[in-house]
Amino acid sequence: MILILTTPHGASHRRASEALRSAFLEIDSTLDVKVEDALSLCSGWFRAYYNSYAIPLRYWPDLWRRIERTQSQGASTGPAWLYRWGARPLFSYLARVQPKVVVAAEVGVCEIAAMYKRRTHAPFFLVGLELMDFNRAWVQPEVDLYPVVHPDLGLELEAAGAPRAKIFSCGMPIDPRFSHLPDRKEARRQLGVASDLPLILVLFGGSGYGRPRPIVEALQRVRAPFRAVFIAGRNRRLESTLLRMSMDRDAWRILAWVDNVHEWMAAADLVLSKPGGATVMEAAAAGLPFLAFDPLPGNEERTCAWLEKWRVGVWIKSPGQLSAVVERLLEQPGERARLAAQSSSLSHPRAAWDIAKAILSNTGRVEG
Protein backbone atom coordinates (compact mmCIF):
# COMPACT_ATOMS: atom_id res chain seq x y z
CA MET A 1 0.00 0.00 0.00
CA ILE A 2 1.00 3.58 -0.69
CA LEU A 3 -0.44 5.79 2.06
CA ILE A 4 -0.63 9.55 1.52
CA LEU A 5 -1.27 11.40 4.80
CA THR A 6 -2.65 14.91 4.60
CA THR A 7 -4.55 17.40 6.77
CA PRO A 8 -7.55 19.69 6.17
CA HIS A 9 -5.41 22.79 6.84
CA GLY A 10 -5.62 24.72 3.58
CA ALA A 11 -6.49 23.26 0.22
CA SER A 12 -2.94 22.73 -1.03
CA HIS A 13 -2.28 19.61 1.05
CA ARG A 14 -5.38 17.80 -0.15
CA ARG A 15 -5.04 18.91 -3.77
CA ALA A 16 -1.41 17.80 -3.95
CA SER A 17 -2.26 14.48 -2.30
CA GLU A 18 -5.09 13.73 -4.73
CA ALA A 19 -2.92 14.72 -7.71
CA LEU A 20 -0.18 12.37 -6.53
CA ARG A 21 -2.66 9.55 -6.06
CA SER A 22 -3.95 10.06 -9.61
CA ALA A 23 -0.39 9.93 -10.95
CA PHE A 24 0.38 6.66 -9.14
CA LEU A 25 -2.75 5.05 -10.54
CA GLU A 26 -2.07 6.31 -14.06
CA ILE A 27 1.39 4.74 -13.89
CA ASP A 28 0.02 1.47 -12.50
CA SER A 29 -3.71 1.03 -11.99
CA THR A 30 -3.16 -2.05 -9.81
CA LEU A 31 -1.46 -0.07 -7.04
CA ASP A 32 -3.28 0.32 -3.74
CA VAL A 33 -3.06 4.07 -3.03
CA LYS A 34 -4.99 5.72 -0.20
CA VAL A 35 -5.25 9.38 0.78
CA GLU A 36 -6.12 9.80 4.46
CA ASP A 37 -6.66 12.79 6.71
CA ALA A 38 -4.03 12.05 9.35
CA LEU A 39 -5.80 14.11 12.01
CA SER A 40 -8.99 12.06 11.62
CA LEU A 41 -6.89 9.05 12.65
CA CYS A 42 -5.64 10.79 15.83
CA SER A 43 -7.27 11.39 19.22
CA GLY A 44 -10.06 13.96 19.35
CA TRP A 45 -8.27 16.13 21.90
CA PHE A 46 -5.16 16.10 19.70
CA ARG A 47 -7.18 17.28 16.70
CA ALA A 48 -8.48 20.17 18.81
CA TYR A 49 -4.92 21.04 19.84
CA TYR A 50 -3.65 20.80 16.26
CA ASN A 51 -6.46 22.97 14.92
CA SER A 52 -6.06 25.63 17.61
CA TYR A 53 -3.68 27.58 15.36
CA ALA A 54 -6.80 29.02 13.69
CA ILE A 55 -7.60 31.11 16.78
CA PRO A 56 -4.53 33.40 16.76
CA LEU A 57 -4.49 33.27 12.95
CA ARG A 58 -7.99 34.77 12.85
CA TYR A 59 -8.00 37.08 15.86
CA TRP A 60 -4.34 37.96 16.49
CA PRO A 61 -2.47 37.63 13.18
CA ASP A 62 0.61 39.45 14.47
CA LEU A 63 0.84 36.98 17.35
CA TRP A 64 0.45 34.06 14.94
CA ARG A 65 3.18 35.53 12.70
CA ARG A 66 5.62 35.48 15.64
CA ILE A 67 4.56 31.98 16.71
CA GLU A 68 4.84 30.61 13.17
CA ARG A 69 8.22 32.23 12.55
CA THR A 70 9.62 30.72 15.75
CA GLN A 71 8.02 27.36 15.01
CA SER A 72 9.39 27.19 11.46
CA GLN A 73 12.95 27.49 12.76
CA GLY A 74 12.59 24.85 15.47
CA ALA A 75 13.55 21.19 15.34
CA SER A 76 9.92 20.23 16.02
CA THR A 77 6.52 21.83 15.53
CA GLY A 78 5.32 20.58 18.93
CA PRO A 79 6.27 18.60 22.04
CA ALA A 80 7.28 15.03 21.16
CA TRP A 81 5.40 13.56 24.14
CA LEU A 82 2.19 15.25 23.00
CA TYR A 83 2.57 13.88 19.47
CA ARG A 84 3.24 10.39 20.86
CA TRP A 85 0.05 10.39 22.93
CA GLY A 86 -2.17 12.20 20.46
CA ALA A 87 -1.14 10.06 17.48
CA ARG A 88 -1.56 6.68 19.20
CA PRO A 89 -4.65 5.80 17.10
CA LEU A 90 -2.68 6.72 13.96
CA PHE A 91 0.20 4.51 15.11
CA SER A 92 -2.24 1.64 15.55
CA TYR A 93 -3.57 2.25 12.05
CA LEU A 94 -0.06 2.19 10.58
CA ALA A 95 0.68 -1.07 12.42
CA ARG A 96 -2.51 -2.59 11.01
CA VAL A 97 -2.18 -1.56 7.34
CA GLN A 98 1.64 -1.82 7.16
CA PRO A 99 2.16 0.56 4.20
CA LYS A 100 5.19 0.14 1.97
CA VAL A 101 5.30 3.88 1.30
CA VAL A 102 4.10 6.80 3.44
CA VAL A 103 3.89 10.27 1.91
CA ALA A 104 3.47 13.05 4.49
CA ALA A 105 1.97 16.18 2.91
CA GLU A 106 2.24 18.34 6.06
CA VAL A 107 5.20 18.95 8.34
CA GLY A 108 3.66 17.84 11.66
CA VAL A 109 2.36 14.68 9.99
CA CYS A 110 5.89 14.06 8.68
CA GLU A 111 7.22 14.32 12.25
CA ILE A 112 4.62 11.85 13.48
CA ALA A 113 5.35 9.36 10.69
CA ALA A 114 9.10 9.67 11.33
CA MET A 115 8.50 9.14 15.06
CA TYR A 116 6.57 5.92 14.38
CA LYS A 117 9.23 4.66 11.95
CA ARG A 118 11.99 5.43 14.47
CA ARG A 119 10.27 3.69 17.39
CA THR A 120 9.08 0.59 15.54
CA HIS A 121 11.78 0.28 12.85
CA ALA A 122 8.95 0.03 10.31
CA PRO A 123 10.47 -0.50 6.84
CA PHE A 124 8.23 1.89 4.90
CA PHE A 125 9.73 4.46 2.51
CA LEU A 126 8.94 7.91 3.97
CA VAL A 127 8.43 10.95 1.73
CA GLY A 128 8.29 14.50 3.13
CA LEU A 129 6.21 16.41 0.58
CA GLU A 130 7.09 20.06 1.29
CA LEU A 131 4.54 22.34 -0.40
CA MET A 132 6.31 25.72 -0.32
CA ASP A 133 6.03 25.62 3.48
CA PHE A 134 9.63 25.37 4.68
CA ASN A 135 10.03 24.29 8.27
CA ARG A 136 13.17 22.86 9.87
CA ALA A 137 11.05 20.08 11.36
CA TRP A 138 10.77 18.53 7.88
CA VAL A 139 14.35 17.37 8.37
CA GLN A 140 14.02 13.97 10.02
CA PRO A 141 16.60 11.15 9.60
CA GLU A 142 13.80 8.72 8.78
CA VAL A 143 12.69 10.66 5.68
CA ASP A 144 13.92 9.00 2.49
CA LEU A 145 12.90 11.56 -0.14
CA TYR A 146 12.13 15.29 -0.18
CA PRO A 147 10.35 16.44 -3.37
CA VAL A 148 10.57 20.25 -3.47
CA VAL A 149 8.94 22.91 -5.63
CA HIS A 150 12.12 24.79 -6.56
CA PRO A 151 15.90 24.38 -6.09
CA ASP A 152 15.90 27.38 -3.71
CA LEU A 153 13.63 25.45 -1.33
CA GLY A 154 15.92 22.45 -1.67
CA LEU A 155 18.85 24.63 -0.60
CA GLU A 156 16.86 25.66 2.49
CA LEU A 157 16.30 22.02 3.39
CA GLU A 158 19.95 21.19 2.80
CA ALA A 159 21.05 24.10 5.01
CA ALA A 160 18.73 22.73 7.71
CA GLY A 161 20.46 19.34 7.55
CA ALA A 162 18.69 17.30 4.89
CA PRO A 163 21.13 15.21 2.80
CA ARG A 164 21.43 16.57 -0.74
CA ALA A 165 20.96 13.08 -2.19
CA LYS A 166 17.45 12.93 -0.73
CA ILE A 167 16.28 16.25 -2.22
CA PHE A 168 14.40 16.11 -5.52
CA SER A 169 13.56 19.45 -7.18
CA CYS A 170 10.53 18.69 -9.32
CA GLY A 171 7.64 21.10 -8.66
CA MET A 172 4.42 20.47 -6.74
CA PRO A 173 1.76 17.86 -7.57
CA ILE A 174 -1.17 19.69 -9.15
CA ASP A 175 -4.39 18.71 -10.90
CA PRO A 176 -3.50 16.51 -13.92
CA ARG A 177 -5.68 18.72 -16.13
CA PHE A 178 -3.01 21.43 -15.95
CA SER A 179 -0.73 19.25 -18.06
CA HIS A 180 -2.92 19.73 -21.17
CA LEU A 181 -4.49 23.19 -21.08
CA PRO A 182 -6.25 24.75 -24.07
CA ASP A 183 -4.66 27.89 -25.50
CA ARG A 184 -6.08 31.23 -24.38
CA LYS A 185 -8.23 31.79 -27.46
CA GLU A 186 -9.81 28.33 -27.25
CA ALA A 187 -10.32 28.57 -23.48
CA ARG A 188 -12.17 31.87 -23.88
CA ARG A 189 -14.32 30.42 -26.64
CA GLN A 190 -15.26 27.45 -24.42
CA LEU A 191 -16.07 29.74 -21.49
CA GLY A 192 -17.97 32.34 -23.49
CA VAL A 193 -15.52 35.14 -22.72
CA ALA A 194 -14.86 37.82 -25.33
CA SER A 195 -11.25 38.21 -26.42
CA ASP A 196 -11.33 41.99 -26.86
CA LEU A 197 -9.89 42.87 -23.42
CA PRO A 198 -7.35 41.43 -20.96
CA LEU A 199 -8.93 39.13 -18.36
CA ILE A 200 -8.10 39.27 -14.64
CA LEU A 201 -8.97 36.15 -12.64
CA VAL A 202 -9.62 36.87 -8.92
CA LEU A 203 -9.59 33.77 -6.71
CA PHE A 204 -10.71 33.38 -3.10
CA GLY A 205 -9.96 29.66 -2.76
CA GLY A 206 -12.38 26.80 -2.37
CA SER A 207 -13.61 28.07 1.00
CA GLY A 208 -13.98 31.68 -0.20
CA TYR A 209 -11.43 33.27 2.14
CA GLY A 210 -10.46 36.92 1.79
CA ARG A 211 -11.51 40.55 1.96
CA PRO A 212 -13.50 41.43 -1.16
CA ARG A 213 -14.06 45.13 -0.51
CA PRO A 214 -10.47 46.42 -0.83
CA ILE A 215 -9.95 44.26 -3.94
CA VAL A 216 -13.13 45.42 -5.66
CA GLU A 217 -12.58 49.08 -4.76
CA ALA A 218 -8.97 48.92 -5.99
CA LEU A 219 -9.99 47.37 -9.30
CA GLN A 220 -12.73 49.97 -9.71
CA ARG A 221 -10.01 52.65 -9.66
CA VAL A 222 -8.12 51.07 -12.56
CA ARG A 223 -8.57 53.27 -15.63
CA ALA A 224 -7.37 50.80 -18.26
CA PRO A 225 -10.16 48.60 -19.68
CA PHE A 226 -10.27 44.92 -18.66
CA ARG A 227 -12.59 42.03 -17.93
CA ALA A 228 -12.66 40.32 -14.53
CA VAL A 229 -13.92 36.99 -13.23
CA PHE A 230 -14.27 36.55 -9.47
CA ILE A 231 -14.53 32.98 -8.13
CA ALA A 232 -15.97 33.01 -4.60
CA GLY A 233 -15.73 29.29 -3.87
CA ARG A 234 -18.26 27.82 -1.46
CA ASN A 235 -18.76 31.10 0.43
CA ARG A 236 -22.29 32.24 -0.48
CA ARG A 237 -21.97 35.40 1.59
CA LEU A 238 -18.83 36.37 -0.31
CA GLU A 239 -20.59 35.67 -3.61
CA SER A 240 -23.48 37.94 -2.62
CA THR A 241 -21.11 40.71 -1.56
CA LEU A 242 -19.23 40.54 -4.85
CA LEU A 243 -22.47 40.58 -6.84
CA ARG A 244 -23.69 43.65 -4.95
CA MET A 245 -20.40 45.53 -5.35
CA SER A 246 -20.09 44.84 -9.08
CA MET A 247 -23.65 45.52 -10.24
CA ASP A 248 -22.56 48.40 -12.49
CA ARG A 249 -19.69 46.48 -14.10
CA ASP A 250 -20.82 44.71 -17.26
CA ALA A 251 -17.35 43.32 -17.91
CA TRP A 252 -17.19 41.62 -14.49
CA ARG A 253 -18.47 38.14 -13.80
CA ILE A 254 -19.09 36.56 -10.39
CA LEU A 255 -18.95 32.79 -9.95
CA ALA A 256 -19.38 30.51 -6.96
CA TRP A 257 -17.58 27.15 -6.74
CA VAL A 258 -16.23 25.90 -10.07
CA ASP A 259 -14.59 22.61 -10.98
CA ASN A 260 -12.82 23.98 -14.08
CA VAL A 261 -10.45 26.54 -12.61
CA HIS A 262 -7.80 25.19 -15.00
CA GLU A 263 -9.85 26.48 -17.94
CA TRP A 264 -10.30 29.87 -16.29
CA MET A 265 -6.56 30.12 -15.71
CA ALA A 266 -5.93 29.17 -19.33
CA ALA A 267 -8.28 31.99 -20.40
CA ALA A 268 -6.82 34.69 -18.11
CA ASP A 269 -4.00 37.22 -18.49
CA LEU A 270 -3.43 37.87 -14.76
CA VAL A 271 -4.37 36.05 -11.58
CA LEU A 272 -5.00 37.85 -8.28
CA SER A 273 -5.19 35.60 -5.25
CA LYS A 274 -4.06 34.68 -1.79
CA PRO A 275 -0.76 32.84 -2.44
CA GLY A 276 -1.54 29.25 -1.51
CA GLY A 277 1.13 26.90 -2.82
CA ALA A 278 -1.17 24.93 -5.13
CA THR A 279 -2.64 28.11 -6.63
CA VAL A 280 0.83 29.51 -7.28
CA MET A 281 1.95 26.37 -9.12
CA GLU A 282 -1.30 26.10 -11.07
CA ALA A 283 -0.86 29.70 -12.22
CA ALA A 284 2.70 28.84 -13.29
CA ALA A 285 1.39 25.89 -15.30
CA ALA A 286 -0.93 28.33 -17.09
CA GLY A 287 1.88 30.89 -17.59
CA LEU A 288 0.08 33.53 -15.53
CA PRO A 289 1.72 36.44 -13.71
CA PHE A 290 0.71 36.13 -10.05
CA LEU A 291 -0.52 39.11 -8.02
CA ALA A 292 -0.37 37.97 -4.40
CA PHE A 293 -2.74 39.81 -2.07
CA ASP A 294 -3.75 39.26 1.57
CA PRO A 295 -1.33 36.39 2.41
CA LEU A 296 -1.81 34.59 5.68
CA PRO A 297 0.86 35.55 8.24
CA GLY A 298 3.96 33.41 8.17
CA ASN A 299 4.46 30.88 5.42
CA GLU A 300 2.32 32.60 2.77
CA GLU A 301 4.28 35.80 3.33
CA ARG A 302 7.46 33.83 2.66
CA THR A 303 5.82 32.51 -0.51
CA CYS A 304 5.23 36.11 -1.60
CA ALA A 305 8.94 36.81 -1.15
CA TRP A 306 9.79 33.79 -3.32
CA LEU A 307 7.40 34.99 -6.03
CA GLU A 308 9.20 38.30 -6.22
CA LYS A 309 12.65 36.69 -6.12
CA TRP A 310 11.69 34.36 -8.98
CA ARG A 311 10.12 37.34 -10.84
CA VAL A 312 6.89 35.49 -11.52
CA GLY A 313 4.60 37.97 -9.79
CA VAL A 314 4.14 40.90 -7.46
CA TRP A 315 3.40 40.96 -3.74
CA ILE A 316 0.58 43.49 -3.41
CA LYS A 317 0.86 45.03 0.05
CA SER A 318 -1.93 47.62 -0.14
CA PRO A 319 -5.09 48.35 -2.16
CA GLY A 320 -3.42 51.46 -3.56
CA GLN A 321 -0.53 49.38 -4.86
CA LEU A 322 -3.02 46.91 -6.35
CA SER A 323 -4.62 49.62 -8.50
CA ALA A 324 -1.25 50.89 -9.69
CA VAL A 325 0.24 47.47 -10.48
CA VAL A 326 -2.84 46.24 -12.35
CA GLU A 327 -3.03 49.45 -14.38
CA ARG A 328 0.66 49.27 -15.24
CA LEU A 329 0.47 45.63 -16.35
CA LEU A 330 -2.63 46.27 -18.44
CA GLU A 331 -1.01 49.24 -20.17
CA GLN A 332 2.38 47.57 -20.63
CA PRO A 333 1.82 44.19 -22.30
CA GLY A 334 5.59 43.75 -22.66
CA GLU A 335 6.06 43.67 -18.89
CA ARG A 336 3.07 41.36 -18.55
CA ALA A 337 4.60 39.04 -21.16
CA ARG A 338 7.95 38.98 -19.32
CA LEU A 339 6.23 37.98 -16.06
CA ALA A 340 4.24 35.35 -17.94
CA ALA A 341 7.41 33.89 -19.44
CA GLN A 342 9.06 33.75 -16.01
CA SER A 343 5.95 32.11 -14.58
CA SER A 344 6.02 29.47 -17.33
CA SER A 345 9.66 28.72 -16.48
CA LEU A 346 8.49 27.72 -12.98
CA SER A 347 5.90 25.35 -14.41
CA HIS A 348 6.05 21.63 -13.65
CA PRO A 349 2.58 20.39 -14.63
CA ARG A 350 3.71 16.76 -14.52
CA ALA A 351 5.38 17.00 -11.11
CA ALA A 352 2.98 14.42 -9.65
CA TRP A 353 4.12 11.83 -12.21
CA ASP A 354 7.79 12.69 -11.64
CA ILE A 355 7.39 12.25 -7.88
CA ALA A 356 5.45 9.01 -8.26
CA LYS A 357 8.10 7.62 -10.62
CA ALA A 358 10.90 8.66 -8.24
CA ILE A 359 9.19 6.88 -5.35
CA LEU A 360 8.57 3.72 -7.38
CA SER A 361 12.12 3.69 -8.72
CA ASN A 362 13.40 3.78 -5.12
CA THR A 363 11.06 1.11 -3.84
CA GLY A 364 10.32 -1.13 -6.82
CA ARG A 365 6.77 -2.00 -7.78
CA VAL A 366 4.64 -1.62 -4.67
CA GLU A 367 2.24 -4.46 -4.16
CA GLY A 368 -1.20 -3.85 -2.68
Taking 70 as the threshold, does the pLDDT of residue 140 lie above it? yes
Measure the CA–CA gap between 186 and 191, rounded to whole angstroms.
Answer: 9
Pairing of strands 199-203, 227-231: parallel
Q: Mean pLDDT, the chain, as a whole number?
A: 92
High-pLDDT (> 70) share of the chain, %: 99
pLDDT tens per residue across span 207-245: 777 789 999 999 999 999 999 999 998 889 988 999 999
Measure the CA–CA gap between 350 and 7, rounded to whole angstroms.
Answer: 23
Q: Comparing 113-127, 135-149, 239-253, which segment has the lowest mean pLDDT?
A: 239-253
- Choose between 210 and 300: higher pLDDT: 300
Query: Phi then psi for 312, rounded to 5 degrees?
Result: -110, 0
3-state secondary structure of 291: strand
Taking 90 as the threshold, does the pLDDT of residue 133 lie above it? no
pLDDT tens per residue across span 159-171: 999 999 999 999 9
Taking 70 as the threshold, does the pLDDT of residue 368 lie above it? no
Instruction: Read off the pLDDT of each residue in 62-86 and give the average, rounded to a whole number.
Output: 87
Measure the CA–CA gap between 334 and 338, rounded to whole angstroms.
Answer: 6
180 confidence band (pLDDT: 50, 70, 90):
very high
Taking 90 as the threshold, does the pLDDT of residue 298 lie above it? no
pLDDT tens per residue across span 186-200: 999 999 999 889 999
| Neighbour count for residue 121 (Cβ, 10 Å) | 7
| Domains, the chain, with CATH or none | 2-174+349-363 (3.40.50.2000), 180-345 (3.40.50.2000)
107 confidence band (pLDDT: 50, 70, 90):
very high
pLDDT for the residue 101: 98
Instruction: Read off the pLDDT of each residue in 340-356 and give the average, rounded to a whole number.
Output: 94
pLDDT for the residue 365: 63
Strands (E) in the chain, as ranges, are 2-6, 33-37, 101-104, 125-128, 146-148, 167-169, 199-203, 227-231, 252-255, 270-273, 290-293, 313-316
Positive or negative, the Cα torsion across 210, 196, 330, 249? negative
High-pLDDT (> 90) share of the chain, %: 76
Measure the CA–CA gap between 325 and 179, rounded to whole angstroms.
Answer: 29
Taking 70 as the threshold, does the pLDDT of residue 122 lie above it? yes
> What is the DSSP code string of 47-104?
HHHHHTTHHHHHH-HHHHHHHHHHHHTSS-SS-HHHHHHHTHHHHHHHHHH--SEEEE
pLDDT for the residue 27: 95
pLDDT for the residue 367: 46
| Neighbour count for residue 190 (Cβ, 10 Å) | 13
pLDDT for the residue 146: 97
pLDDT tens per residue across span 280-293: 999 999 999 999 99
**In contact, 352 and 176? CB cutoff 8 Å:** yes
pLDDT tens per residue across span 307-323: 999 999 999 999 889 99
